[in-house]
Amino acid sequence: MNPETSYANPEAVVSTEWVSQNIHNPNVRIVESNEDVLLYSTGHIENAVHIDWTTDLQDSTIRDYISPEQFAALCSKNGISPDTEVVFYGDKSNWWACYAFWVFRLFGHKKLHVMNGGRDKWIEEGRPLTRALPQFSPTNYPVPRRRRDSEIRAFFEDTLAHSNARLPLVDVRTPGEFRGEITHMPEYPQEGVLRGGHIPGAKNIPWRTAVNPDSTFKSAEELRKIYIEQNGLNPSDDIIAYCRIGERSSHTWFVLTELLGFEKVRNYDGSWTEWGNRVRAPIEKG
């Protein structure tokens, strides 16, 4: 898979070149996941299907993810079987690709990959896009027995207990959001958060520190320096990562888990839009 072999899970990342050579591989399903809701329709990698973070991965009423039955239906519809190598890519340096990767992992799908550099790198390299929608025969994806929430997902109560116990919490937002100076992220409108600041005890390691200017992931050596040497995290630590709604922290979850081999990292997807609105939730500023 032409991986960066020094990553803990070298197969978690595939190159744009690898994807271009596997566009017609029947064992591979390329999935585009974006923040920009219409971007896929403006052009995508040939044979890539679209999985939308809101309408496909989240419950349409409650703030939660889809059920195992809905996940099986989503995979079946897109011609994905349990043995399919699913390759995610997208905009925003692969935020939503990592988010979709994390949701697929919640349901136990094993063969998951992220295309390094995402959509921006593919375009930067002059590779072609198409508007033609791919057609795949539906599969009969078995309904997963459960969603692995307790393993890789943290809820408010878990995060509060983590904070009280002074266990490692990684706030991946921008320093301005962390310090409570702004209640939205730069370049975005307010998303309805009443209080600014961070969860007591959290360390601010912005997600962006893990990527190069071309949106590719930094090397394993560089990532070890950032997370282990400079910020004192250990691969055996019990870690919770959070941001505003869980997409940037799924990027960091991917880096820590797949690229550095950390053993227990959970993504608090409620993140700041839950914590910053919660009555009496403790907050630190500065």
Active-site residue numbers?
243
Cα 41 from Cα 193, distance rounded (Å): 31
Cα 88 from Cα 72, distance rounded (Å): 17
Residues 6+ apart with CB under 8 A from 82: 109, 110, 141, 142
Residue 181 in the binding site for another protein (CB under 8 A): no
Residue 38 in the binding site for another protein (CB under 8 A): yes
Residues 50-69 that bind another protein (CB under 8 A): 54-55
Of 140 and 190, CB closest to another protein: 190
Cα 245 from Cα 61, distance rounded (Å): 16
Least distance in angstroms from the C-beta of 246 to another protein: 11
Q: 129 is written with which tokens?
A: 């896009």
Indicate which single residue of 42, 137, 140, 236 sits in contact with another protein (rule: CB under 8 A).
42
Cα 25 from Cα 19, distance rounded (Å): 9
Residues 233-272 that bind another protein (CB under 8 A): 245
Least distance in angstroms from the C-beta of 243 to another protein: 13
Task: For residue 119, count CB atoms less than 10 angstroms from its CB and return exposed for 0-12, middle for 13-18, buried for 19 or more.
Answer: buried
Residue 186 in the binding site for another protein (CB under 8 A): yes
Least distance in angstroms from the C-beta of 181 to another protein: 12
Cα 211 from Cα 114, distance rounded (Å): 13
Indicate which single residue of 1, 39, 228, 281 sits in contact with another protein (rule: CB under 8 A).
39
Least distance in angstroms from the C-beta of 118 to another protein: 13
- Judge whether 281 and 30 are in contact, CB under 8 Å: no
Cα 70 from Cα 76, distance rounded (Å): 10
Indicate which single residue of 184, 203, 224, 278 sits in contact with another protein (rule: CB under 8 A).
184
Cα 44 from Cα 52, distance rounded (Å): 14
Question: Which is nearest to 199 in space by CA: 242, 238, 233, 229?
Answer: 242
Residue 157 in the binding site for another protein (CB under 8 A): no
Indicate which single residue of 126, 135, 189, 221 sits in contact with another protein (rule: CB under 8 A).
189
> Under rule CB under 8 A, how many of the chain's residues touch another protein?
16
Least distance in angstroms from the C-beta of 215 to another protein: 12
- Tallying the residues shown for the chain, one arrives at 286
Residue 187 in the binding site for another protein (CB under 8 A): yes
Indicate which single residue of 27, 41, 150, 164 sits in contact with another protein (rule: CB under 8 A).
41
Residues that bind another protein (CB under 8 A): 35-39, 41-42, 54-55, 184, 186-189, 191, 245
